[in-house]
Amino acid sequence: MRHYYILFIFGILLTASSCRTDFDTVASSGNLKFSKDTVYLDTVFKNIGSATYQLKVYNKSKDDISIPVIQLKKGLSSKYRMTVDGTNGNNGKIFNNVTLLAKDSLYIFIETTADITDADPTDFLYTDEIQFDSGANLQRVALVTLIQDAVFLYPKQNPDGSNEKIQIDGKAVDGFYLDENDAANGNELLFTKQKPYVIYGYAGVPENKTVTFEAGSKVFFHANSGLFVDKNASLHINGAVSTSEKSENEVVFEGDRLESLYSDIPGQWGAVILADGSTNHTINHLTLKNATIGLSIRNQDATTVQLKNTQIYNCSQYGILAQHARIKGENVVINYSGLAGLSCIYGGDYSFTHSTFYNNWPSGDHFAVNLSNRLSGATPETKDLTQATFNNCIIYGSSTNEFNLDKSTNSQFVYQLNNCLLKFSSTSKNPDYQFKDDAIHYNQIILNENPKFYNVSQNKFNIDKTSAAFAKGNQAYAIPLDILGATRTSPPDLGAYQSADFPK
């Protein structure tokens, strides 16, 4: 019975303590600790909300304290917003009498939405600070955000509230056609380096028009967005060699999430689609990343896509998906694709020289290069692969076999690899993969030797003299300059990069 009495008394005490709502606190003494002294919010476009960033505040003392005020220095006019331990205070700007228990911490989450006119005109930085307490106990944490001005391109809104649509593959998708005489933006078919561009939905190039991207132009695509080049229209990308890792002269296509967390996440936007019947495409010094499909090239029977000095990274499906297309590629680099880096299907005509195809997608069911002369469900189901030639190339990756042939005997299937380093570890007796004995399809193949790239996770495919690709190229196929503009030696190295000191 005594035990029940003790439990009863303990229960009463526990209930009383759990119902306590008042705390004896002392005033903050200016000894708060912070997880960081400056919160850098990644670059944002004007008037587009940032991601949410976190600051943790610690009370290291043995006393429960009360912080008289936590506020933004610019007060209610600040472009920053906060929540403090889940509360919004006065419009997310000012919080009074915040309690912080002994040996405890609280979370502050910070966001911003600012215009370019709010930033310092000399460096485009928008700044403020979080102030804790005042007077002798005042403590500060700085807030810093880079604001980018930009040209925003997006579908118009219809009277019923729906978005403007364009037709892609027989489907209506959110999109619009670029206008060379737009009232607000001027010539939307000319992309310059003066400001970055942000695209919502699919930007279409009208029939019989050409879209041009000048050296240094930067384009950021929102989710489910892309570029669509209609029949009889053309794409001209006129990038140039950059002298730094800032890619200042490259034409860059990527997603519009600028936070560092999103810098290498695949599938953030759609694709660049060169439609059936589009024509006269030239692509030089393009860096494209984080798409679903990088380049989707359809049925280019009458024209050859000229693809030079181009890098395509982190695509959730394909780096290049070519369907009965014609491509001449030089100094092309593709890495990290969910299905294949380069997939040439339904026949076509392809030539790649001094290119590096690598795939380190985490699953094993992928290829660096896939060739096929069929398309399931199409009529007819097969078309001739009249040529697929790879000269002085590297085809490698993390899978057992990075080269795949999907061949139907109902149509022509012509392919040849000359002076290439290839990853293919299977011991299969398939006659299509006899790299040493089949001189019709394979000449001077280096099989399963590590090219020793500088850093594949950072998309740095430079090599040095220890690489198996060093000086193994055929001078007859050599392109004078590599992807960085360096002069190739004789004999040249395989792949898109001439060997040199690794980048710093």
Mean pLDDT of the chain: 93
Q: Kind of pairing, strands 286-289 and 226-229?
A: unpaired
Distance CA 257, CA 314 (A): 14
- The domain boundary, picked from 95, 119, 148, lies at 148
Domain that holds residue 159: 151-477
Mean pLDDT of the 444-466 span: 95
pTM: 0.89
Residue 400: other Cβ atoms inside 10 A: 11
Write out pLDDT tens, residues 421-434.
999 987 778 899 99
Q: Which two tokens stand for residue 376?
A: 């399931």
Does 430 or 175 have the greater pLDDT score?
175
| Residue range 197-204: mean pLDDT, rounded | 97
Same domain, 179 and 308: yes
Structural domains counted in the chain? 2
The verdict on 244 and 387 lying in the same domain is: yes
- Residue 245: predicted pLDDT: 80
Contact in structure between 311 and 331 (CB atoms under 8 Å): no
Q: What is the DSSP letter of 214?
A: E
Domain boundary among 87, 116, 148: 148
494 is a domain residue: no
Largest CA distance in the chain: 100
Last residue of a domain, one of 148, 181, 216: 148
pLDDT at 57: 97
Query: Hunting for tokens 């709010």 — which residue is that?
Result: 118
- What are the pLDDT digits (tens) for 118-161? 999 988 999 999 999 999 999 999 999 999 999 999 999 888 88
Percent helix, strand, coil in the chain, to 5, is 10, 45, 45
Domain membership flag for residue 7 = no
Task: Encode pLDDT of 70-111 as tens digits.
Answer: 999 999 999 999 999 999 999 999 999 999 999 999 999 999
Closest CA to 255 of 245, 266, 246: 266
- Check whether 197 has a pLDDT greater than 70: yes
Instruction: State whether 184 and 91 are in the same domain.
Output: no
Residues 323 and 174 in one domain: yes
Please give the pLDDT value at position 13.
47
What is the SS3 assignment for 319? strand
Kindly state whether residues 368 and 421 are assigned to the same domain. yes
**Strand (E) or helix (H) holding 151:** strand 151-153
pLDDT at 501: 58
Q: Which of 231, 234, 227, 233 lies closest to 175 in space, CA to CA?
A: 227
**Is 5 part of any domain?**
no
Is residue 2 assigned to a domain?
no
What does the alpha-carbon distance between residue 406 and residue 80 come to, in Å, rounded to a whole number?
55
Tokens in use for 141? 């944490």
Domain-located, residue 498:
no
Task: Taking residues 491-496, report their average pLDDT.
Answer: 98
Residue 408 lies in a domain: yes
- pLDDT tens-digit readout, 22-58: 457 898 899 999 999 999 999 999 999 999 999 999 9
Mean pLDDT along residues 206-217: 98
Q: What is the C-alpha separation between 148 and 469, in angstroms, rounded? A: 42
> Is pLDDT above 70 for 8?
no
Q: Are residues 81 and 203 in the same domain?
A: no
pLDDT more than 90, % of the chain: 87
Q: Are residues 201 and 346 in the same domain?
A: yes
Read off the CATH number of the domain in which 41 is found: 2.60.40.1510
In a domain, 430, yes or no: yes
Does pLDDT of 484 surpass 80? yes
Same domain? For 365 and 423 the reply is yes
Q: Which residues pair with 395 in a beta bridge?
A: 357, 422
Q: Are residues 38 and 129 in the same domain?
A: yes
Three-state secondary-structure class, residue 475: helix
CA-CA-CA-CA dihedral for 214, 217, 223, 228, to nearest 10:
0
- Answer yes or no: is pLDDT of 468 > 70: yes
132/155 same-domain check: no
Same domain, yes or no, for 355 and 433? yes
N- to C-terminal Cα separation, the chain: 78
Looking at residue 1, its pLDDT comes to 46
pLDDT of amino acid 503: 57
492 part of a folded domain: no
Q: Is the pLDDT of residue 7 over 60?
A: no
The pLDDT of residue 300: 79
Cis ω before 159 (30° cut-off from 0): no
Q: Looking at the structure, do residues 88 and 236 belong to the same domain, yes or no?
A: no
Is 174 strand, coil or helix?
Answer: strand
